[in-house]
Amino acid sequence: MNEHRLPEPYGLHLDRTRPLSCTFEGVRVQGYAGDTLMSALLSTGQHLVSRSFKYHRPRGPITMAGLDANTYVQNGTEPNALADRILLAEGLVANAQNVSGSLKGDRDRWIQHVSKFLPVGFYYKAFYKPKGIWGFWEKIIRAKAGLGKVDQSTPHSYHDKAYLFADVTVIGGGPAGLSAALEAAEAGCEVVLVDDQPLLGGSLNSGRDSETGGGDKRVTEGERLRKALAEQPKVTILTDARCTGWFSDNWLSIVCGRRLYKLRAGQVVLATGALEQPMVFRNNDLPGIMTGTAVQRCLRLWAVKPGRRAIVATCNAQGYAAALDLADAGTEVAAIVDLNPEPYDCPERRAAQARGLRILPGHTVWEARADGSKNRLGSATLRGLNAAGEADGAEERIECDVLAVSIGFTPLAQLLCHAGGRLIYNEALAGLKVDHVPEGAFVAGAVNGAYDLDTVLAEGRHAGWAAAQAAGFKDRKSPGKPQKTAERVNHPWPIFPHPEGKDFVDIDEDQTVADIHNAIADGFEHLELMKRYTTVGMGPSQGRTSALNAVRITARANGGSPAGYTVTTQRPPFVPESFGHLAGRAFDPERLTAMHERHLELGAQMMPAGLWWRPGYYGPERERAEAIRAEAEAVRRNVGLIDVSTLGGIDVRGPDAREFMQRLYTFNYLKQPVGKSRYLLLCEETGTISDDGVGCCFADDHFYVTATTGGADGVYRSMLRWNAEWNLDVDIANVTAAYAGVNIAGPNSRKVLETLESDLDFSAEGFPYLAVREGTLEGIPVRAMRVGFVGELGFELHCPAGQGEALWDLLMKAGAAQGIRPFGVEAQRLLRLEKGHIIIGQDTDGLTTPDEASMAWAVGRKKPFFLGQRAILVREREGTDRKLTGFTLPMRAPLPEECNLVIRDGEIAGRVTSASQAVGVEAIIGLAYVHPKDAEPGTTFKIKLSNGSMVEATAAAIPFYDPENKRQEL
């Protein structure tokens, strides 16, 4: 066994029967199952694991709890993985980040020596002049500063999401959390317990018991609670899981493995504990300097001796406990530096004294120095403190390779703050205290300021009971509220600014005491402003190890006390979430028509239309233009078939159906004959066109209404919304998905239909233009309507969706002799443009009135009311500065694109909404918004093309093709 590894019973997490090896920075590292990468490195005596963000200073672990950013490494393809969380696995390959050359001899470590030329705000001040110069500096700075690198060749991995539910959720599996979970479970609640470590227990696993001296009582209690919880059938335990956010109505995000859980909790008990804080002195970031609790975790969880010779700096029982633990493990404790002038009185201090450990009351660490390798703590200079707490006393330098710091804690209440809780600096406690707990939340244990084990356990039980009560499980008797609660463990000013700096407040961001002072001198005296100016608290650990000291320094620099200061706003995520978790298994619904497979078999290029997929055209992409043209020509000269299933379909049925139509749409429907269809134009109350379609009157009390593909759901909802107010006697049913539909169009369409067995008479007399009929086609029930969207003889046939594919097959087969050709959305757009039919949303925008779109004909003037009526009238009266007009260009002119601007007297007058080379006429045709004076057919106006050149277009009457509409009425 190597000198850094301790024998059993040290190493609660380790399975010593399973040795493992991994590679860090190209060097093989041995460890055991249960080790983290960091504990395995420590077991080789190596603390150095990273280089700092800005100055490339050597860094080692501080918390050993995955809560500081010093342990960020590149784990295979995963950047920014925490070495004290990565479980060792055979063959794992990890590397240091932000290093040029090697971790041990980083070539960029010179940067720290010019740090005095890199004051706070340096980038803002130095690199913005002359204008544009930032682009030059940015590349250099980004290469030198930063964290992990994204490996763009990373293979995709499967991440997913799941919902979880609980009456009570407990976050944190330490003594408070375990007893809260057990109490709530015993009250009958469904409980989810979330802990970020692989083994439940928290400080029960790593702490020292103040009475027995070892960890015995804690270990026993941990075992008892784990066993009791395991026997509870309604408890779900998530270990190695991180709660990253606490949102409205107790909605929690939890990252566990490759899954993101979204947990809805009735009540939440927060038992996340507290995090020990660094002390501020010169070179307080050297590898080997860590918190007292981190030292204890090293010893008890992973059986790692963090060093040979230690100094402990403290002001509380925790520090003395860490010193005793070090001594027990065989580390020489050279000195215990107690910041209190009178040493802190507690059983641990008395035990230390009895063991003859050297205690220096009223002293501090003034400066740390590196050893010969420059990468590890080598010695510490101590100084006596004066009555004002300033380090101006006698100096003593002591060699050591580990420095344990226990000068106070900060509650890990970030999640509570997400939910509306508040942390406020409490002078009596000399630290941050949970000040407000929102409804549905409970706090227990160290996060609530309790450190004594019995108090923590009692708080946990009480919080679990109270949460169960609030969740409606009221039968259980209260376990009693603990008398003692918060105790003072913090030193009010563990900050010893050094004239030569490197006294880091924010270790993530390499920010020192002077940086905060400079920010305040620059006028950023408010905590939120100071944070943004200096970036203190903005690094990956989000202020967990810096906020407390930053509050103290800021308050003092502002000439006041930190009392009443709150921390800067806490936002999710509490710890980083990977993109995989956020992006993994996203749901993107898509809708397919009944004929979808047929389109694919015919080689269609599918295009999205809202959630739907529709055939754009049939044929290879390289033949796009030819395919569209050929499809359009087939409709003009012969017969084509298009899938129109995506059109919205709404049945409006009931005695008030006509009245409902009358109020909703702009036209007149009271006298629309049964068996006929009529154009529908829907406006918003603002008078803006919002949708269009066709209303088929199948009976006095039955209208079958179509809506645009993208507008159907909105129109349906709008109908329901208005009728919830009007209470007309109608039923409104969205039958969009219930009906598949095709449009068979072209001069030969009738011929094709007439070959089929049907009770419908498709002749010109039997089925005139705009007629609608219900019948069957070869046994398939259809709603048939003669429509003219593409401007040829055509029938739209809507049938039950389950038979849509059969209908398509039937028509394709029946039309084969005629040479029927399927056509897609692109050809349809061209054909309708030739007829001057607008597409809502393409030829209209969020302001278009019927008047502007030249659709005043579709507005019923004498109706008492319809949606948008008054606004239409007012807007008409006020006039408009644009009109939608048809235009033409010669066939060989350049083709304008949609949204090319119409220019009049050097000003923008409008834009092109549709443009295409026509098939039915010899010209380029289009629709555009122009100045009303330019809308008169024959007037010319200018279009600015995408390449900047101008082309002259001529306003034209629509329809461009078959202006007398003879062909559709054949």
Partner 1 sequence: MKIMTCPLNGPRNIQEFQCGGPVKAMPGAQDSDTAWADYVFLDENPRGFVREWWCHLPSSYWFIAERDTATDAILKTYPASELFAPEKTVGGSQ
Partner 2 sequence: MANSVSPNDFKRRSFVAKRLVEAGARFEEVAGAAAAMAFSDDGAEEKAALEGCGLADLSPLPRFGIKGRGGPEWLAGQGVAIPETVNTALRQEDGSLAARLSPSEILVLGDLRGGERCGALYTSWARARMDDPSAARGYALRRDDSHAWFRLTGANAPEVFAKLCAVDLRPHRFPALSVAQTSVARSSAIVIREDLAADVVGYHLLIDSASARYLWDCLIDAMAEFDGKAVGLRILRQQNAG
Residues in contact with partner 1 by CB under 8 A are: 247-249, 251, 262, 264, 656, 659, 663, 685-686, 716-717, 720-721, 724-728, 734, 864-866, 869-871, 874
Q: How far is the CB of 804 from partner 1 (least distance, A)?
A: 23
CB nearer to partner 2: give 81 or 801: 801
**Cis omega (within 30 of 0) for bond into 306:** no
Residue 267 exposed, middle or buried by CB count within 10 Å (0-12, 13-18, 19+): buried
Question: How far is the C-alpha of 696 from the C-alpha of 773, rounded, in Å?
Answer: 9
Backbone angles phi, psi at 926, to 5 degrees: -170, 175
To the nearest 10°, report the CA torsion of 406, 409, 415, 418: -130
Question: Which of partner 1, partner 2, none does 885 bind, CB closer than 5 to 8 A by kind?
Answer: none
Residues 6+ apart with CB under 8 A from 797: 741, 742, 743, 744, 777, 782, 783, 784, 807, 811
Per-residue buried b or exposed e for 179-194, using 16+ beta carbons within 10 Å of the residue's own CB: bbbbbbbbbbbbbbbb
Question: Which of partner 2, partner 1, none does 51 bind, CB closer than 5 to 8 A by kind?
Answer: none
Question: Which of partner 2, partner 1, none does 590 bind, CB closer than 5 to 8 A by kind?
Answer: partner 2
Question: Which of partner 2, partner 1, none does 161 bind, CB closer than 5 to 8 A by kind?
Answer: partner 2
- C-beta atoms surrounding 40 within 10 Å: 24
Helix 292-302 / helix 317-328 crossing angle, nearest 10 deg = 40
Task: Tell me the three state secondary structure of residue 399.
Answer: strand
Question: Which of partner 1, partner 2, none does 805 bind, CB closer than 5 to 8 A by kind?
Answer: partner 2
Question: Which of partner 1, partner 2, none does 870 bind, CB closer than 5 to 8 A by kind?
Answer: partner 1
CB 953 within 8 A of CB 887: yes
Closest C-alpha among 277, 328, 274 to residue 299: 328
Question: How far is the C-alpha of 620 from the C-alpha of 596, rounded, in Å?
Answer: 17
Closest C-alpha among 273, 280, 276, 274 to residue 506: 280
CB 24 within 8 A of CB 76: no
CB 431 within 8 A of CB 409: yes
Question: Which of partner 2, partner 1, none does 864 bind, CB closer than 5 to 8 A by kind?
Answer: partner 1
Closest C-alpha among 7, 163, 17, 148 to residue 86: 148
What DSSP line would sit under 262-331, residue for residue?
EEEEEEEEE---EEEPPPB-BTTTSTTEEEHHHHHHHHHHH-B---SEEEEEESSHHHHHHHHHHHHTT-
Q: How far is the CB of 811 from partner 2 (least distance, A)?
A: 13
Tokens of 685: 């109350």
CB nearer to partner 1: give 534 or 869: 869
Backbone angles phi, psi at 18, to 5 degrees: -120, 80
Continuous segment of H or E residues that includes residue 163: strand 160-171
CB nearer to partner 2: give 326 or 780: 780
CB nearer to partner 1: give 439 or 621: 439
Q: How far is the CB of 610 from partner 2 (least distance, A)?
A: 11
CB nearer to partner 2: give 526 or 585: 585
Q: How far is the CB of 780 from partner 2 (least distance, A)?
A: 6
Binding site for partner 2 (CB under 8 A): 160-165, 262, 264, 585, 587-594, 596-597, 611-612, 645, 651, 653-655, 699-701, 729, 731, 733, 735-739, 779-780, 800-803, 805-806
Q: How far is the CB of 731 from partner 2 (least distance, A)?
A: 3
First vs last Cα of the chain: how many Å apart? 98
Residues 6+ apart with CB under 8 A from 589: 611
Q: How far is the CB of 591 from partner 2 (least distance, A)?
A: 4
CB nearer to partner 2: give 425 or 613: 613
CB nearer to partner 2: give 698 or 929: 698
CB nearer to partner 1: give 248 or 483: 248
Question: Which of partner 2, partner 1, none does 620 bind, CB closer than 5 to 8 A by kind?
Answer: none
Closest C-alpha among 627, 635, 623, 772 to residue 705: 772
CB nearer to partner 2: give 592 or 756: 592
Question: Which of partner 1, partner 2, none does 281 bind, CB closer than 5 to 8 A by kind?
Answer: none
Question: How far is the C-alpha of 496 from the C-alpha of 120, rounded, in Å?
Answer: 19
DSSP letter for 71, please: G
Question: Which of partner 1, partner 2, none does 663 bind, CB closer than 5 to 8 A by kind?
Answer: partner 1
CB nearer to partner 2: give 266 or 794: 266
Q: How far is the CB of 733 from partner 2 (least distance, A)?
A: 6
CB nearer to partner 1: give 716 or 795: 716
CB nearer to partner 2: give 214 or 610: 610
Alpha-carbon distance values, 264 to 191, 237, 246, 807 (Å) = 11, 15, 10, 47
Question: Which of partner 2, partner 1, none does 899 bind, CB closer than 5 to 8 A by kind?
Answer: none
CB nearer to partner 1: give 162 or 874: 874
Q: How far is the CB of 592 from partner 2 (least distance, A)?
A: 6
Question: Which of partner 1, partner 2, none does 726 bind, CB closer than 5 to 8 A by kind?
Answer: partner 1
Q: How far is the CB of 575 from partner 2 (least distance, A)?
A: 24
CB nearer to partner 1: give 253 or 448: 253
Q: How far is the CB of 241 from partner 1 (least distance, A)?
A: 19
Question: Which of partner 1, partner 2, none does 117 bind, CB closer than 5 to 8 A by kind?
Answer: none
Q: How far is the CB of 718 from partner 1 (least distance, A)?
A: 9
Q: How far is the CB of 163 from partner 1 (least distance, A)?
A: 9
CB nearer to partner 1: give 739 or 789: 739
Question: Which of partner 2, partner 1, none does 133 bind, CB closer than 5 to 8 A by kind?
Answer: none
CB nearer to partner 2: give 189 or 336: 189
Backbone angles phi, psi at 445, to 5 degrees: 90, -150
Q: How far is the CB of 672 from partner 2 (least distance, A)?
A: 17
Question: How far is the C-alpha of 953 from the C-alpha of 886, rounded, in Å?
Answer: 10
Alpha helices by DSSP H, 134-190: 134-144, 175-186
Question: Which of partner 2, partner 1, none does 651 bind, CB closer than 5 to 8 A by kind?
Answer: partner 2
Residues 6+ apart with CB under 8 A from 627: 617, 618, 619
Q: How far is the CB of 140 from partner 2 (least distance, A)?
A: 45
- Count the helices and strands in the chain (H runs, E runs): 23, 47
CB 616 within 8 A of CB 606: yes
Question: Which of partner 1, partner 2, none does 716 bind, CB closer than 5 to 8 A by kind?
Answer: partner 1
To the nearest 10°, report the CA torsion of 872, 874, 879, 885: 0
Q: How far is the CB of 827 from partner 1 (least distance, A)?
A: 34
Q: How far is the CB of 803 from partner 2 (least distance, A)?
A: 5
CB 243 within 8 A of CB 171: yes
Tokens of 110: 């010179």
CB nearer to partner 1: give 203 or 734: 734
The one-letter code for the residue type at 512 is T
Q: How far is the CB of 256 from partner 2 (least distance, A)?
A: 14
Question: Which of partner 2, partner 1, none does 160 bind, CB closer than 5 to 8 A by kind?
Answer: partner 2
